[in-house]
A and B are shown apart, each in its own frame.
Chain A
Amino acid sequence: MSRRNILIAVLLGGAIAAGIVIATMSRAPVEPRSAFIIPLPRELPEFSLVDQFGEPVNADTFHGQWDLVFFGFTQCPDICPTTMQILAHAKRELIDAGSNTLPRIVLVSVDPERDTPEILGRYVDYFGEGNLGVGGELGEVRKLTAALGIYFEKAPIDGDNYGVDHSAAVLVINPHGEFSALFSAPHSVANYVHDLAIVMEHN
């Protein structure tokens, strides 16, 4: 092989390699790993609840930002704090990665009898700034959960003590106040970091 032919071969090889790199970069990320994107985002129903500051919470509260909404209760020692921790951790990774669209983390209590605004406030604040804790009348919580397909039911433990069985999913509400995607349990920080960009892009 002459010197010229070697040069051509090297240049050609380099061009192919560069092409592969560019194609790979422009292709990612497309498919979510865990999130289910709802084909036709749904508006939230009418409901009337309160946040940790005693301020009213209704469908309008969910306009203007991305929200990650989890339904749980503060006397849940394992699943709920673990999920809140994962959401908070994912948000911190998005901040570190320089993401300019950060979701708000919302805990809607499925045990509003025991979860007063004061208790909810201390609870959500523990997992970071800007989180929203939502409580209120049980019937009003039911209006929201029924429209979103969220299950919850009291489960007696012993004596007067009880737990609450509840859907472990995290719902994504888009800035138009529409239920647009869902993360099923088990949750992982990596899946949120990977999928949220896709969910937001899809909007």
Chain B
Amino acid sequence: MEEYRPWTWKIPEGSENDKRKISRQDAHERVSGKAAFTRDIYLPGMLYAKILNSPYAHAKITSIDVTKARALPGVRDILTFDDPEISHDTGIGAWYEASGNYNILTLPGISDFFQHPMGVAVVADSEEICDRALRLMEIKWEERPFILDMEESVKPDAVKIMSEVQRVNAKAKEPNTVVADDVEYGSVEKGFAEADKVIEYKIKREVNSAAGVEPAVCVAQWRNDFLDIWAHHQDIPQWFLIYPQDSRGKHIPPLADWAKITVTMPYQGSYYGGFSWLAYSCCFTRLAVILARRADGRPVKLTYDESNHFVLGDDAGTYKCKVGAKKDGTITAFHWHMVGVRNPAIEKTYEATKIPNIRGSQEWGFVNKGHLICFRHGSHCTVPHTVMFDKVAAEFGLDPTEVALKNDGCRGHDWNWVTRYQKENGFPQRWSLKEVIDLGKEAIGWSKKWHPPGTKKLPNGKMHGMGFMQINEWTWQSPAPAMTYACLSLRNGIAAIIGVRSDIGVDAESAARSVVASELGLKYEDTVIHEKRVENSNFYMWQPGGSFSTAYITTQLVMAAKELKKKVLEYAAKPTPAYNSPHFLKTVQPPAFPGKKPEDLDIKDSMVFEKANPRNRKSVREVADIFWDVDPAIAHPVVGTADMMTVDGKPDPNQYVMGRQAHFIEVEVDAETGMVDVTNVACVNDVGHLFNPEGALAQQYGGAIMGLGRSGTEEHVWCPRTGVALNHDLINYHIGTMNDYPVVQCRINESHLGYAAFGSFGIGENPGAALSGITTSAIYNATGKWILDYPTTPDRVLKALGKI
């Protein structure tokens, strides 16, 4: 059987032309206000539901009197945490994410953080009545001790918090540790002994927020024992309804029979992961379904307000770092110990360096700050990665771009080894990091502008600095969050891609249309997306979007398009059979291309033509449609999950992360005020293979602004005395807008070094996470002082400068 190696697939001739600007099918709806997001779903007889937000960081409800609330006109139902229908109901986060290490009660009676949605839910005729009813609840609370600092939480003698939350990882420890981990590759002690210098430092990152704009919402309606759901989510939420056990470990039946659930995924407003992978989002969906079950067939819309954006923060924490390096910048070993939700050393830095001795240890303890989870993934590992290269460069007076190149490799192998691997496995011999660094240096003028730290004062009195960081995008082949399939249908000469909506904004759909058009030989305009609800067939082409959307689904679509093209060419060379029906009477017709074999033919610009005589041509519609009624198979080429497997079903062990991304910034630091002005930004992303130029540009640009905010300004703030959050709203948690940053120079590189179709590996995660550590690099270059306490706000700059 042919080995399944999508990166070796031949790029269709002329597909480069498809990299011109491509129109979005959904553009008109999105700019005209017609795009219906989940918030815009209104159904006849619909009721509204809201949940109480805790006013305490950690407190137990000792009594709740709902009498006044229940008497409020328009209130239809009140469900309290101690109701037998909900009291033991529980949910868990995505199994592939950190949040899969614990489960939580769907409607707990103990708040675990300020604004925790808990205690009681109200169903009423409007959201406003829900709000009024919640204010009428008479609740008595028993405040409990809280912990905001994770380093305190993981201590053996810490007070136990969040006792109702069940930790399911075998590495959990009392009282509060969710996971304790320690992984080593090579021997770090040996590596430190080989180093010319061993450097030690500590990094601290405060929590920041995805701060998307469409808060959580779920609409649920029962039709007897059939269930309809409209979900604002990045996963298809049937999974949440079949969680098999309650908080006591007792088996519980699914909330609905899988075969009787229909899910609609409307337009999705600004998702970056995070919330979708939390146990809380599972519980949110379960609660909507349970409330609807009590509503006697009326639909219930469960909504959450802007505090939804602050239920979670990113996977921040502290890092104790020890790095050994030689004078030429070669890193011989490092050990990062993170007190946080993930173990960063074994992720990107292990994947994308030749460093032979790596140790990553981790302690993750609960804190009363809300859920900590990745969003726009990778900040937790890009920050220590960036700082390590900067620290080594600074120690030996080297250019950090040279230090990065010196240590590039894959899982301890150097780039010479990687080059041999590329040659033996059908990849082009490319050095992605060198390419993206060269592009970025040229864009920002690095060679002329970079200077030793603290040596350039500008005429305006500010200090000038240059920052750089590099890292890899996540790989396409990581376990996908959903079982997916590709389905194409060809009718009237138009190829329809059938699936649930696959767009959280990244425009994977245009990429899908483009790749199908190229592979089939159709014009881009002759492809469409056909939105499909997820029904009991359990058939869906993709999840609504996420880390691997484009690279992942395009690979499947290329396979399906190849199959469909083969069918079209076979039908072009054979006669159509007779067919009789009450509506049609058809006699045997000669082939569209008499005397020709499929291999004599090809398709271009939606026309089937004879290769030896291109003027002999007929439209795809003319050739294929006549077979629709006699061979439905032409309409349904389906390709199943393509994930981490060769075509013969064997896991592919050789999936090295060879693509790299490089980002550069230029800053001016005011030493009197601590203000840092970012004056120039250049982002270079190697995407492997580019499908959608406009989509990629927007990912780079928007991601860069997000990343700069995460690095320089954004942080959740809590009162240390009360545990109350002080800026959990979009007024006080400021995200970068139009006039906060300069124009971002965006560059794309295509190395074809990914494992997906044509060597692609995507772009979406990278800038939003990668730039989240870059301001330290630039501020050090400007001032010669390190700020390793993120974000690099003016007060921290002044502190580093010894001004306060």
Chains A and B belong together in one complex = no
